[in-house]
Amino acid sequence: MNKILECKNICKKFGKKRILSDVSFDICEGDILAFIGPNGSGKTTTIKLILGLQSIDSGSVIINGYNVVDDFTKAIFKVGAIVENPDLYMYLTGWQNLKIVANCYKGITDEKILSIVEYVGLKSRINDKVNKYSLGMRQRLGIARALLNSPNILILDEPTNGLDPEGIKDLRDLLKKLAKDGMGILISSHNLAELESFCNKVCIIDNGKIIESSFVNEFKNSENRVIFKVNDTSNLPISNAIEVKKNSFVINGDKNEVAKIVKQLVKSNIEIYEIRNDEISLEEAFLKKTGGPRANINKK
């Protein structure tokens, strides 16, 4: 897959205080990256550096092959972003809000705006004033606005703040659709249970440093715990089981170790009903990686 965004060894200081140290990660087409971290870890600072809203002390941000510092206009040309809640003109209609932004670009026709409105599911309400929209509808309008320049990467900072369950579901479904169509998405949020349901990558930042960057399923099973469900464990032919119950046991091992154990079980006439990775939740994995519970993780 083609890389859309590459952050390479980004560093940032405010005065004498170092905020970011060698922050590196990337996003490819179709990725949805959960960018998470404890309070004050540097999430929003990183996002602002990516968007060119703050200067980079050292390191680089490459978007679609262009360096944000050296060629900002070309780098940012295919980027859509919402930092926290979208700023909207509340006493104008949704359509009027989109037209104002569309006028800042060349060649955005009413037909294109309408196709985006349909894509985000706002066609029936686009001519209503925004002050009559739910918070979830405002988020969808914000995303519609971010899509006007036909971006291939979308950056969202805390987009689920204040959303009810229905609004969160609508947003999740929309982001999954965008990723399926090839867009790369970076999403910073404290709602780890929700991120787990649709993000394929995770990047954890703590004290301004990246401490984990991997696929979500690999991160949740970083200890390679594997559960075997069998008909009987009274005469297991293995000695490396770390948990044993009447009809199941757990090992730490890679695929080669699993294959070896399967052969041993078959030779011992033990019936195998199921083999699966013993994944913990994204929240549990996050807390384990960062050293345990902290105050909230939704602050920047």
Supply 271's token pair: 């019936």
Give percent above pLDDT 90 in the chain: 66
What's the farthest any 2 CA atoms get from each other in the chain?
A: 74
- Average pLDDT over the chain, rounded to whole? 89
Which homologous superfamily is 3-219 in?
A: P-loop containing nucleotide triphosphate hydrolases (3.40.50.300)
**44-70: pLDDT as tens digits:** 999 999 999 999 999 999 999 999 999
SS3 275: strand
User: Per-residue pLDDT for 291 more than 80?
Assistant: no
Supply 288's token pair: 């384990």
User: Per-residue pLDDT for 222 more than 80?
Assistant: no
User: Per-residue pLDDT for 299 more than 50?
Assistant: no
Q: Which of the four pLDDT bands, split at 50, 70 and 90, describes residue 293?
A: low
Chain center to CA of 210: 15
For CATH 3.40.50.300, the residue range(s) in the chain are 3-219
pLDDT score of 263: 94
Supply 36's token pair: 């998470």
User: Per-residue pLDDT for 94 more than 50?
Assistant: yes
pLDDT score of 111: 96
Supply 94's token pair: 């949704």
Q: Say which DSSP state 280 is in.
A: P
Nearest residue to 129 (alpha-carbon basis) of 117, 138, 116: 138
**109-127: pLDDT as tens digits:** 999 999 999 999 999 999 9
**135-181: pLDDT as tens digits:** 889 989 999 999 999 999 999 988 877 778 888 888 889 999 999 99
User: Per-residue pLDDT for 244 more than 50?
Assistant: yes
Give percent above pLDDT 70 in the chain: 95
> What is the Cα–Cα distance from 14 to 62, expressed in whole angstroms?
23
User: Per-residue pLDDT for 296 more than 50?
Assistant: no
pLDDT score of 230: 94
Q: Which of the four pLDDT bands, split at 50, 70 and 90, describes residue 294?
A: very low
